[in-house]
Amino acid sequence: MKKIPFVKYHGAGNDFILIDNRKKEYHLSDSQIQLMCDRHFGIGSDGLIVLEQAEGADFQMIYYNPDASKDMMCGNGGRCIVAFAQSLGIINNKTIFQAPDGIHKAEIISNKDNKSIIKLSLKDVEKIEQLSDGQFLSTGTTHFVCFVENLQTLDIKTKGREIRYDKRFAKTNGTNANFVEIVSEIELNIRTYERGVEDETLACGTGITASAIAYVEKYNTPHNPIIINSKGGQLKVYYTKTQSKTYSNIFLEGEAEKVFEGEFILS
């Protein structure tokens, strides 16, 4: 039996297992990742994040969905690994790190009682595809965004699964699905069905970012930042609009909280 130390964090209710693997001690199989993320037989989480060494950056973020799929960015997980890196003494208040979609910058704005407010850069949005029923774009992973008026009563699991497996998104192995309700010119409510989790999550950082950008593009609002309320908490999205359907200097700001730590036994 092998014991693996881990720390559990959440960002707006989006929860993650984090492992320090700078010494390359741990080599997890897909089945082991799935077990650790399982909420009945494992630790339970919306994903597993491994921190490793990186050339030209403070550290590397390797992100796995609960089904062990990877090679995509996670905005809430990105904030959590920044808080984790600070707790390990790797960084101070600012960092540059490597993620599946490239280099990211982050700043820890405040840190008190295991809770940090972190502002994280996300990749530029280079294209927003206008569809008959919504918008399709990538913020490190692909997202479908549609605006609704019945958000609280919407059957997210059914509708989200339909969009996730829609043939239109086969080339990207499906998509995440975001359903957004306008509260005011600067504030939105959101619910998200996440690919890889295959269910609704309390928040999705890249989905919140995609939804804010889609909102700005669709309604041509000048407001900045856009405030978005997920089930797990409130986040802010900052941006610079460079031209139609193109956005840069995108930042996601929100909380990252350490929940507990322990050891997981792999038999």
Cα–Cα distance, 63 to 114 (Å, whole number): 22
Structure tokens at 10: 């959440």
CB burial of 244-265 (b: ≥16 within 10 Å; e: otherwise) equals ebebeebbbbbbbbbeeeeebe
Catalytic residue numbers, as ranges: 74, 204
How many angstroms separate the most distant Cα atoms in the chain? 57
